[in-house]
Structure 1
Amino acid sequence: MKAASAELLRLEGITKTFPGTVALDDVSFSVNRPEIHAVVGENGAGKSTLMNVISGNLQPDKGEIYFEGQKVKIRSPRDAQNLGISIVHQELALCPHLTVAENIYIGRLPQTAGKMVDYDRLNRMSQEVLSLFDRVNIKPTDRVADLNVAQQQIVEIAKAITLNCKLLILDEPTSALSEADAAVLFKIIKDLKAKGISILYISHRLREIFELADRITILRDGKYIATLNAAETNPDQVVSLMVGREIKEMYPPKSSKIGREIFRVENISSEKVYDVSFALHEGEILGFAGLVGAGRTELAQTICGILPRRSGEIYLEGKSLEIKSFEDAIKNRIGYVTEDRKQFGLFLRLPVAYNVSAIHLKYDGSGLLIDRQEERNLTREFVKRLNIKATSYLQLVMSLSGGNQQKVMIAKWLAINPKILILDEPTRGIDVGAKAEIHNLLRELAQNGIGIILISSEMPEIIGMCDRVLVMREGRITGELSGHQITEENIMQLAAHR
């Protein structure tokens, strides 16, 4: 029997190129068993490409893969599964209309002698694997569409375990989870390690990486940089290796001067928002904190006319606004950066230029014909201003990294010269370098007179960015914090305690 620290996976000289891009350049590293091994890097560093090579979704142009000491060829996901390698992608691959049990054993459903699905046996088998997850209230007969994101991830992990999983790859597993759900997931990951399963863990959230990982491998621009023992390094060193430079200030200095009131909401109510009032002042970044389901997004969408308002008043620079639709909000130069850029925020299959100019050219009175020269000039301005990394203004947005997609979405709203900009989870799923750039941009916008409202589930972001924080629970504001009052303890007390 091999020792606990025996090498499970080894990559040697993995290289993968796409037209015009070297995604992986001579990458070598190993994963021991059992261990939790984090892979970090900025967007575009090669993490996803590397995971797709290991899981058989992509074939390397050069290099060798060794698994359990044997040289292997992983030509397909089926080959990876046969070896004991499973991947849970950030975008979950479940069939929502099927039950939990049917998803866990999809393609391998037990049959009766009459070649019908043996549902009794299927549900028993599924219950056995689900019982491995403590305090998880999921039944084999539950329909996946009725589960929340955290529960769906557990179904994906359960499916992997039934495939004789020895190496589990988790790609940004907490990007859509609340802190409570993430805590449950962390316990499951640690339990899997205790059962002898190794974890390859990809995340932009350094706090959770240092909570979970035994070792950390850093990639940059498709190249292997280093593998460090988590206990012997720190976030600053990891960030420096990721970006190739020091990010001394993740959060820019807060405002030293708060000016006049520029935006006010009085007694706003909608289906999930109840009697909310607040004011926003010139020069400040106003944060909204709270647990998932607290009503922050619903409040933003009510203000912008996306959700119908039942009562309340909205004032911009002292003038009452009649906002009955999102179009009304845009005409009053109120922008809303959605938390779901892929589904609602961007035209992924269209070029950068079309996205940047989409709203500006509609509302600038230019008529039915699009001025392509103006579109190019506008795009050129914001590509430079926001440091958007694109090969040209005609590059499809879907081919950009997550951080650059986010910058394009922000550019789209800056193009209308907004007076108020509401940003919902603006740095979710992007790397630390892009986060720092967006943080500095938001502070610059606030200092230049644009009213900034920031909704975030990342506590360090709320604490580091906001001059004042309003905490919500069950659709209501439960408290206001400013200055030294803005602490994690104070926020959680207002967010969770009755």
Structure 2
Amino acid sequence: MTARDPDALPVLEMRRVVKSFGAVLALRSASLRLESGSVHALVGENGAGKSTIVKIIAGVYRRDAGRFEIDGEAVDFTSPAQSREAGIAVIHQEPTLFPHLSVIENVYLGREPRGALGSIDRRGMRDRLLRILGRLGVDMDPDLPADVLSIADRQIVEIAKALTEDARILIMDEPTSALSVREIERLFAIVRSLRDEGRAILFISHRFREVFDLCDTITVLRDGAFVETMDIDDTTVDELMTAMVGRDVTELFPKQDVEIGEPVLEVMELESRGAFHDVSLTVRAGEIVGLAGIVGSGRSGLARAIFGVDRYDEGRVLVDGERVPSGSPAAAIRCGIALVPADRLRHGLIPSLPISRSVTLASRRSLARRGLLSSRAERAAARGWVERLRIKATSLSAPAGSLSGGGQQRVVLANALATRPRLLIVDEPTRGIDVASKAEIHRLLGGLAGEGMAILMISSELPEILGMSDRVLVMREGRITAELPRQAATPEAVIRAATGG
């Protein structure tokens, strides 16, 4: 880690930047200072202005007011091309490579170096790319088509592309959200090597552990304004959370003491070839059972099978003692099961639908009278859930995709809860949302358990599993390898069961 030098000339600086979209003020006084040879975190709740700042730096938006400097000189980018020419590259959460082009074609697309006679210098392209990949410690075939690469390898290609453009400033926007632990470790090693070469890295993440592991300094935004910049060594998680939300978040995991009732869900010797094997588990009324495991352990496949999205080959699923048919989400809903999927945008939400329709999508049949559903009844039902889950929306007619990440997640939750389930399965319930929204969702889950609902919670966030669960089940390679009561569910015990260590 390197300490912040207030006298060093920043490679990039923004002061009191303002940006509005019609009547919506996205940035009202945002400031940011990046130094060469440093990894700088930009944090804030959803809606704090992080994405707007990134798009101004990348030349997608122009600021309305304030100062923007590169190497002490004022700039005003009017296009992404100008930002790239200034040595800035953005590595997005899910890189957008051309899938049918090779790695080397994606890296040099539109700027292939030419030889003396005007022909493309293919040998020079390959030699330089291989040198860059070697510097990054990556063994990758430049001729591989992009569509066979993992998300982690696609990010590496984007970084290599930035280095062929001699980028001095790299912006990484939630780069680890879809990566495994080992892929994150590899990415962090690359980021540290880029920092040691003297490049400035802007790192955006909701994951505090990553911020404290990787970054040198942190800038906090709140409600479109600069709050403060801190040295990582002089900051605690509690101080960072307080700066982000403007109040003391003392209880991120508000676990309630609830009387545990009779079994609601019983899974008996469930088998899906190639996915999970001989899985048996029980979730009782009022109980939150956490399902932990590394990526690929079979957790999400098990959830989809219980809900009927995927068929299973052997075994039984019972709710309140009654068998749930395999392979039918509609039957699962009728039996009292609801699922909040891990990927809310692909599987849980249609962004263009209005909020009212998004909330009632799974419960429309129960709201209809004589086969007809009036818009008034739909809006009344939706309004009740919007108020209960504190979804901040200007109108029920607004598209669900216009909400923040936390707001979208609450809409998906509302859609599931509107079916009045006995069992709620939540897969990564707080992925990609800010700390205040996480606390609200945890409070909601605790309240539902207090009302007697059975909850099966899948999460890759170990603090979430440990903080919210009455029992923890651990999966590895498609099998449950441990069942831990709350008192025995330590980080070491869960990690040991999840990895076989």
Change (3 A) 1:116 1:377: farther
Task: State the partner residue of 2:342.
Answer: 339
Does 357-366 or 426-435 show the bigger shift? 357-366
The residue correspondences of 1:180-195 to structure 2 (distance < 5 A) are 180-195=182-197
Q: Which runs of 5+ in 1 are unaligned?
A: none
Alignment counterpart, residue 51 of structure 1, candidates 37, 48, 54: 54
Looking at structure 2, the residues matched to 3 and 129 of structure 1 have their Cα atoms a distance apart, in angstroms, of 32
2:97 to 91, 94, 99: 94
Shift of 1:198: 0.6
Q: Residue 214 of structure 1 corresponds to which residue in structure 2? A: 216
- Answer yes or no: is the 8 Å Cα contact 2:269–2:278 preserved in 1: yes
How much has 1:251 moved relative to structure 2? Answer: 0.2
SS in 1 for 2:251: coil
Contact 1:255 1:467 in 2 (8 A): no
Report the Cα distance in structure 1 between the residues aligned to 2:366 and 2:306, rounded to whole angstroms: 20
Residue 197 of structure 1 aligns with an amino acid whose one-letter code is R
Distance in 1 (CA, whole Å) between partners of 2:319 and 2:435 is 34
- Determine if the alignment matches structure 1 residue 417 to structure 2 residue 420: yes
TM-aligned CA deviation for residue 481 of structure 1: 1.1
CA distance in 2, matches of 1:468, 1:254: 14
Question: Over aligned residues, Cα RMSD in angstroms?
Answer: 1.8
Matched, 1:486 2:489: yes
SS at match of 1:358: helix
2:353 corresponds, among 323, 334, 350, to 350
Aligned partner of 2:455: which letter?
I
1:176 is paired with a residue whose SS is: coil
| Corresponding position of 2:312 | 309
How much does 1:483 deviate?
Answer: 2.0
In the TM superposition, residue 364 of structure 1 has moved relative to its aligned partner by: 4.4
8 Å CA contact retained: 1:359, 1:412? yes
Report the Cα offset of residue 109 of structure 1.
2.5
Q: Deviations over 1:267-320 (max 9, x none)?
A: 111131111110111111111111111111111111111111111111111122
2:227 is matched with: 225
User: Does the Cα contact within 8 Å between 1:270 and 1:307 map onto a contact in 2?
Assistant: no
Contact 1:150/1:177 (8 A) holds in 2: yes
Tell me whether 1:328 sits opposite 2:331 in the alignment: yes
1:461 paired residue number: 464
Residue type matched to 2:261 in 1? G
User: What's the counterpart of residue 396 of structure 2?
Assistant: 393
| Cα shift at 1:45 | 0.4
In structure 1, what is the Cα distance between the partners aligned to 2:246 and 2:409? 22
How many Å separate the matches in 1 of 2:365 and 2:93?
34
Name the structure 1 match of 2:455.
452
In structure 2, what is the Cα distance between the partners aligned to 1:24 and 1:367? 49
**Partner residue in 1 for 2:169:** 167
Q: What is residue 84 of structure 1 aligned with on the other side?
A: 87
CA distance in 2: counterparts of 1:13 and 1:370, whole angstroms: 50
Give the match for residue 499 of structure 2. Answer: 496
| Secondary structure of the structure 2 residue equivalent to 1:192 | helix
Task: Please give the per-residue CA displacement for 1:88-120, whole angstroms capped at 9, x wherever unaligned.
Answer: 122322112221111111212245678665544
The alpha carbon displacement at 1:121 in A equals 3.6
| Corresponding residue number in structure 2 for 1:261 | 263
From the superposition, tell whether residues 375 and 195 of structure 1 become closer, same or farther in structure 2 (CA, over 3 Å).
Answer: same
Q: Is 1:40–1:204's contact at 8 Å kept on the other side of the alignment? A: yes
Moved more, 248-257 or 468-477: 248-257
Residues in 2 aligned to 1:62 and 1:350: alpha-carbon distance in whole angstroms: 34
Task: Name the CA distance, whole Å, in 1 between partners of 2:100 and 2:316.
Answer: 42
In terms of mean alpha carbon deviation, does 255-264 or 393-402 score higher?
A: 255-264
Distance 1:459 1:3, change over 3 A: closer
CA distance 1:315–1:109, change in 2 (3 Å)? same
Is the Cα contact below 8 Å between 2:258 and 2:449 reproduced in 1?
A: no
- Report the TM-score, using the length of structure 2 for normalisation: 0.95
Taking a change above 3 Å as real, the CA distance of residues 115 and 416 of structure 1, as seen in their structure-2 partners, is farther
> Any conservation in 1 of the 2:311–2:326 contact (CA below 8 Å)?
no
| Letter in structure 2 aligned against 1:89 | H
* Comparing 180-189 and 192-201, the one that deviates more: 180-189
Tell me, yes or no, if the aligned pair for 2:270 and 2:277 is still in contact at 8 Å: yes
Q: TM-score, normalised by structure 1?
A: 0.96
For structure 2, which runs of at least 5 residues remain unmatched after alignment?
none
Residue correspondence of structure 1 range 134-173 to structure 2 within 5 A? 134=137, 136-173=138-175
Question: Which deviations, in whole Å up to 9, do the C-alpha atoms of 1:64-98 show, x marking residues without a partner?
Answer: 21101111121111111111111112232211222
Are the aligned partners of 2:256 and 2:450 in contact in 1 as well (CA < 8 Å)?
no
Letter in 1 for 2:37: P
- Partner residue, 1:295: 298
Of 356-365 and 175-184, more deviation after overlay is shown by 356-365
Is the 2:272–2:312 contact (alpha carbons within 8 Å) kept by the matching residues of 1? yes
Within-5 A mapping of 1:348-387: 348-364=351-367, 366=369, 369-387=372-390
Percent identity of the aligned residues?
A: 42
User: Contact 2:98 / 2:106 at 8 angstroms: preserved in 1?
Assistant: yes
CA contact (8 A) 2:356 2:397 kept: yes
Q: How far has the Cα of 1:256 moved from its partner?
A: 4.6
Which residue is equivalent to 1:70?
73
The 8 Å contact of residues 337 and 409 in structure 1, kept in 2 or not, is answered as yes
Answer whether contact 2:309 2:328 (CA < 8 A) is retained.
Answer: yes
Alpha-carbon shift at residue 255 of structure 1 (Å): 3.5
1:204 — aligned with what?
A: 206
* 8 A contact 2:362–2:416 mirrored in 1: yes
Q: How far apart are residue 266 of structure 1 and its match?
A: 0.3
Of 240, 243, 254, the residue aligned with 1:241 is 243
User: Alignment partner of 2:390: what SS?
Assistant: coil
Structure 1, 112-121 or 312-321: larger mean CA deviation: 112-121
Secondary structure of the corresponding residue to residue 201 of structure 2: strand
Q: CA deviation at 1:4?
A: 10
Other-structure match for 2:63: 60
Distance in 2 (CA, whole Å) between partners of 1:207 and 1:439 is: 19
